[in-house]
């Protein structure tokens, strides 16, 4: 059936592979560009939603341009909130 | 390549080419290269997972190990973020993760269409997550789910300001989720094509330089393909967690 010697050899190989691999995996860090991209999508997504709601409100309530102005500001603030949450999540890890 | 003044745009690869022209009730449901790519992805996933795990050997072969690794990876992700409640959603998150991951990987094969580079595809995936999680929140908490937008411990006059912000932040989830995946794939594949253009356009043997760069970029792209699938899966887990634990 299974060769004892072979198994022992495999065990040793696994051990050496593990000892060399673990430090690398722990220091898995994102690149600066990837991080910046993540943050910017959060802000942009919130702004898109804010402006979208603002335009819809203006269209149906006829409050042009105040809906857009107010919801643009809300969208920007929501963007900052998103960024804050992402940062907190990263710090937790 | 570019023969007889034929122009090759780096964006040409994202063009949707319909193979059949089918229209039902005014909706265009033609079978396109995007659909073909998705079918290939699903076929690859199904074949790979079933064939490799078929042997069910106690000491796994390399291929079986890969399948088990993927399974464990998502299972670990779910138990880390959602906890015991997460087990129910394993099939969903695993399918989503595999679909995005293998879709990205299939897109790395030359001449193969990358369906994740179209925002409508990623937005549809993100919408499924978003709508599903919202329904889940209402099922778990009923009308109390709305307190998700209410932050306790804040002066009462701040609420008219904070509640719209919270709602916008919640609604922006599917957009940021889909834009991240789509933009990464689009940018990466465009970059590859731009550098491929340099290889042809540069004089003498200097074209070898961008060629080397493309090899390195391809490696990076494979990393990004995995990373984006991972990000998609982990954010889905976090949103499921939010549906269970408000705040």
Mean pLDDT taken over chain B: 88
Number of domains into which chain A is organized: 1
Q: Which domain holds residue A79?
A: 4-92
Tell me whether residue B5 is in a domain: no
pLDDT in tens, A21-53: 554 444 445 667 778 888 888 999 999 999 999
pLDDT in tens, B23-61: 888 888 888 889 999 999 999 999 999 988 887 777 788
- In chain B, pLDDT over 90 holds for what percent of residues? 47
Higher pLDDT, A20 or A37: A37
Q: In this complex, how many residue pairs, one in chain A and one in chain B, have their CB atoms less than 8 Å apart?
A: 53
Judged by a CB distance cut-off of 8 A, whether residue B176 touches chain A is yes
Mean pLDDT taken over chain A: 82
What does the buried/exposed string (b/e) look like for B195-204 if buried means 16 or more CB atoms within 10 Å of the residue's CB?
bbbebeeeee
DSSP conformation letters of B131-195: HHHHHHHHHHHGGGGGGGG--SSS-GGGHHHHHHHHHHHHHTHHHHHHHHHHHHHHHHHHHHHHH
For residue A59, pLDDT over 50 is answered with yes
Nearest Cα residue to B214 out of B226, B229, B202: B202
Tell me whether residue B8 is in a domain: no
CA distance to partner chain B, nearest, from residue A54 (Å): 11
Model confidence at B127, in pLDDT bands (50, 70, 90)? very high
Q: Which domain holds residue B197?
A: 22-244
pLDDT of residue A29: 56
For residue B140, pLDDT over 80 is answered with yes
Task: Say if the Cβ atoms of A75 and B166 lie within 8 Å.
Answer: no
Task: Say if the Cβ atoms of B176 and A37 lie within 8 Å.
Answer: no
Number of domains into which chain B is organized: 1
pLDDT of residue A2: 62
Q: Is B2 helix (H, G, I), strand (E, B) or coil?
A: coil
């Amino acid at each position: 059936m299974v060769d004892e010697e072979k198994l022992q050899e495999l065990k040793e190989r696994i051990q050496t592979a593990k000892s060399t691999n673990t430090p690398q995996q722990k220091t898995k860090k994102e690149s600066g560009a990837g991080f910046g991209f993540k943050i910017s999508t959060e802000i942009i997504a919130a702004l898109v939603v804010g402006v979208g709601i603002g335009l819809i409100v203006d269209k149906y309530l006829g409050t042009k341009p105040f809906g857009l102005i107010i919801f643009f500001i809300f969208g920007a603030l929501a963007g900052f909130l998103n960024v804050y949450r992402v940062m907190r999540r990263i710090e937790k890890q | 390549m570019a023969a007889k003044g034929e122009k090759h745009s780096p964006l040409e690869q994202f063009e949707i080419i319909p193979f059949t022209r089918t229209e039902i009730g005014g909706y265009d449901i033609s079978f396109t290269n995007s659909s073909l790519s998705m079918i290939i992805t699903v076929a690859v996933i199904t074949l790979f997972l079933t064939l490799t795990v078929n042997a069910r050997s106690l000491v796994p072969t390399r291929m079986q190990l890969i399948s088990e690794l993927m399974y464990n990876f998502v299972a670990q992700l779910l138990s880390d973020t959602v906890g015991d409640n997460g087990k129910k959603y394993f099939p969903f998150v695993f399918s989503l993760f595999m679909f995005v991951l293998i879709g990205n990987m299939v897109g790395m094969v030359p001449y193969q269409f990358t369906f994740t580079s179209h925002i409508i595809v990623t937005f549809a995936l993100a919408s499924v997550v978003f709508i599903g999680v919202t329904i889940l929140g209402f099922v778990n908490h009923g009308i109390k789910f709305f307190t998700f937008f209410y932050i306790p411990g804040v002066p009462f006059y701040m609420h008219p300001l904070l509640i719209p912000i919270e709602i916008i932040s919640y609604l922006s989830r599917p957009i940021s989720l889909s834009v991240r995946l789509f933009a990464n794939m689009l940018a990466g594949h465009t970059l590859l094509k731009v550098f491929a253009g340099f290889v042809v356009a540069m004089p003498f043997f200097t074209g070898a330089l961008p060629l080397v760069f493309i090899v390195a970029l391809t490696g990076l792209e494979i990393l990004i393909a995995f990373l984006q699938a991972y990000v998609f899966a982990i954010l889905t887990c976090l949103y499921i967690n939010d549906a269970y634990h408000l705040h």
